[in-house]
Structure 1
Amino acid sequence: MQFRDLGAQYRALKPQIDEAILAVVEEGRYISGPQVRELEERLAAYVGVKHCVTCANGTDALQLALMAWGVGPGDAVFVPDFTFFSSGEAVAAVGATPVFVDVDERTFNLDPAKLEEAVVAVRDAGSLKPVAVVAVDLFGLPADYPAIKPICEKYGLKLLEDGAQGFGGAIGDELACSFGDISTTSFFPAKPLGCYGDGGAVFTDDDDWAALIRSYAVHGKGTFKYDNVRIGMNSRLDTIQAAVLLAKMDAFIGEEIAAVNEVARRYDEALAGSGLVLPRVPEDYTSSWAQYTAQLPKGVDRTALQDALKERGVPTMVYYPKPMHEQGAFEGTCVVAPGGCSVTERLCATVLSLPMGPYVGAEGVGFACSALLAYDSLGFDV
């Protein structure tokens, strides 16, 4: 069993993917070929925003957004403590200070009440200027934007949606990557919509920000390639990756989002009453299920459980074993929100992600759950 079976996806979409890659090779426009602009147009239309600018990866996408806003030294940017490193890394990379805020224990996303407390505390301390919030759509579920947006408006903060894991998710009829003043995503292979290498994108309705991001992504270019008007970076999505994403998009939109939600439903049904704390999707939300992450009962030896499941052929992962504020890279350069991040610390000690993806199927869910429920130390009545 694969944790995320990219091979099964390739076999299902092989004719489209092979044809798309071959077309790029035959044409020979490996950088900035027409597929890149076509992809940007399709992504923007799907998400429902005016502009999409593709780039080399999801981390660059975050940094490009912050650069467009002029975020830098002396600025405070609020980031969930339970997330992948790049959500805070991009903040530090532009010289700003990440302020790590605790999360909701069931959705794993930024806790709006804790966010407002942190904003007020940093503002009142006076040493840093609160300027932006990075809200992460963790594991495929959009953050609580109905609560987060008013906080940003109240305190004059820009909202950056980190939709690296959330592409395809929704709140009502509004899709992930449309909630931020600027939103970003990643096309890393294991993401809900993944390419065959690294890739990312930035979304916004603002014309000026989009133009700046497009310039920064190509060495700060002006009107043409060798007219460099600002210091930027080299962050382009290559044409083959754009072609692969185009070949996958119809299946992603038309089949795979529904399929992963069916997989999650089967997990919920099989594991109900087991003692595991299962992920919660709030009413009117849709998750794209980048991961299916449960919390283990207190006292379970997670490492021993993972080893036992591996022996039975069930791969698992831990996202994430260490809070952001404990990462050595941020030592002495970050702020922890008042009251600490106790929920994050507990999650880091108890979360376990199970095999997920549109090609897991009922048999795969059953196999994984049978192995999990048979583990004696969990205390299940098997």
Structure 2
Amino acid sequence: MQVPFAKFDKMHGDIREEMILKFAEVYDKGWFIQGEECEAFEKEFAEWNDVAYCVGVATGLDALSLSLKALEIGIGDEVLVPSNTFIATALAVTAVGASVVLVDPDEVTYNMSGKGLEETLSPNTKAIIPVHLYGQAAEMDEIMDFAEKHNLYVVEDCAQAHGALYKGRKIGTFGDVGCFSFYPGKNLGALGDGGAVTTDNKELADIIRRLGNYGSTKKYHHKYLGTNSRLDEIQAGLLRVKLRHLQEYNIQRNEYAKRYLEGIKNPRIKLPAVGADRTHVWHIFAVMCEDRERLKQYLEDRGIGTVCHYPIAIADQECYEGYGLPRLPFAKYIAANELSLPMYVGMTDEDIEYVIDAVNKF
């Protein structure tokens, strides 16, 4: 039996015809950049997230870097970043010329909390990027209290947590901006790259939109040193189709996670925990195992796909040699022990039971 880590034909199986019809519709319109589909998606995604504005961009990384640039964060500034996040979070900070300051996460949820923020604060700290990692909301009350106390911007990295809630409120609505990725494997994924920024600040939304359109306020008039980062019409149209199904897909993921949590009994496997007053949309089902490499190979030998998120901590990445980033202990622990089990829409009962049985027999 084969259970891949992700299976895109299964993920889109029940909406295949809708997707094909939308592709044909956009193709037949003959307008592929800055058109009706992107405008409609921005409106619908803003409404879905209970915010006033949404700006479509090319990638999740661009969503972060354009937001930082719009907030005028740059050379000489410091930004607090979780030590165990995907490298895109740090790269966005480096891209605007600011300095990455790593903070180890909470040891239960693997997410940023108030822990460690005070120790990393300096007169140069300008912003915090809490990452709602693996699909679970970060500890936003503690983070927002700290940010307000020290007059810091909050740029939420929502790339893995579309639809997650903290105290009944959507993630991406607490900080100055919420930054989303629509990479194909995300809970809301395009059929290519894509991203978006959400905010209640009209001025900020306007600046981000202009920065992503060559810094242009109107055609051939360039107020900002911008770039080319726009969500294209085909991806926007396909995302509109998938957005209508996102809530039911998140419910499916929660059902799969519940089965894993109840069924996996192996004492060598540390299961993920959900913090109080929040929801998890299970973009990733991350377990910890001190014999991770052997577990990975054992599952691979039985046809089960897994991925490590992430096997090399940011501080140990070659591109950050010479930056003096601290090698924090819990980031090292996660890099050495984390393994993600299969989690995708369209998994069958047989798939789930096969994975559970294999993990329990390890």
TM over 0.5: yes
Q: Could you tell me how far apart the structure 2 residues matched to 1:364 and 1:283 are?
A: 29
For residue 72 of structure 2, what is the aligned residue in structure 1?
70
**How many residues of Structure 1 are paired with residues of Structure 2 in the alignment?**
360
| Conservation of the 8 A alpha-carbon contact between 1:3 and 1:354 | yes
**Selected match of 2:206 from 173, 187, 211:** 211
* Aligned-partner SS, 1:288: coil
Q: Counterparts of 1:152-301 in structure 2 under 5 Å?
A: 152-222=147-217, 224-253=218-247, 255-272=248-265, 274-296=267-289, 298=290, 300=291
State the one-letter code of the partner of 1:259: Q
- Tell me, yes or no, if the aligned pair for 2:105 and 2:115 is still in contact at 8 Å: no
Cα deviation, 1:353-376, whole Å, max 9, x if unaligned, reads 00002222322111111122222x
Q: Percent identity?
A: 34
Distance 1:184 1:334, change over 3 A: farther
Structure 1 gap segments, 5+ residues each: 124-128, 376-382
Q: Distance in 2 between matches of 1:98 and 1:334?
A: 10
Q: How does 1:95-134 map to 2 (within 5 A)?
A: 95-119=97-121, 122-123=122-123, 129-134=124-129
2:308 is aligned with 1:318: yes
Query: 1:66-124, CA deviations, whole angstroms, 9 ceiling, x for partnerless residues?
Result: 010111111010000001001000100100000011011221111412122211xx33x
Q: Is contact 2:33-2:233 (8 Å) kept?
A: yes
2:136 is matched with which residue?
Answer: 141
* Counterpart-to-counterpart distance in 1, 2:349 and 2:276: 24
SS in 1 for 2:222: coil
Which amino acid in 2 is paired with 1:318?
A: C
- C-alpha distance in 1 between matches for 2:130 and 2:143: 8
Q: Report how far residue 234 of structure 1 moved.
A: 0.2
Tell me the amino acid that sits aligned with residue 224 of structure 2: R
Report Cα offsets for 1:248-296 as digits up to 9, x if no partner.
111112x111110011100000114633111111232111111000111
Query: 1:334, CA displacement in angstroms?
Result: 4.9
1:29 partner SS: coil
Q: 74, 87, 90: which one pairs with 1:88?
A: 90
Contact between 2:46 and 2:52, CA under 8 Å: does it hold in 1? Answer: yes
Which residue of the partner structure matches residue 367 of structure 1? 354
Residue 380 of structure 1 is matched in structure 2 by none
Contact 2:306 2:340 in 1 (8 A): yes
Gaps of 5+ in 2: none
Distance 1:140 1:117 in 2: 27
List per-residue Cα deviations over 1:25-63 (Å, max 9, x = no partner): 111111112010000000000111111000000000000
User: What is the deviation of 1:220?
Assistant: 0.2
TM, length-normalised to structure 1? 0.92
8 Å CA contact 1:101–1:115 kept in 2: the answer is yes
Residue 24 of structure 2 aligns with which residue?
Answer: 22
TM-score, reference length from structure 2: 0.97
Letter in structure 2 aligned against 1:105: E
Report if aligned partners of 2:113, 2:140 keep a CA contact under 8 Å in 1.
Answer: no
Matches of 1:107 and 1:10, distance apart in 2: 30
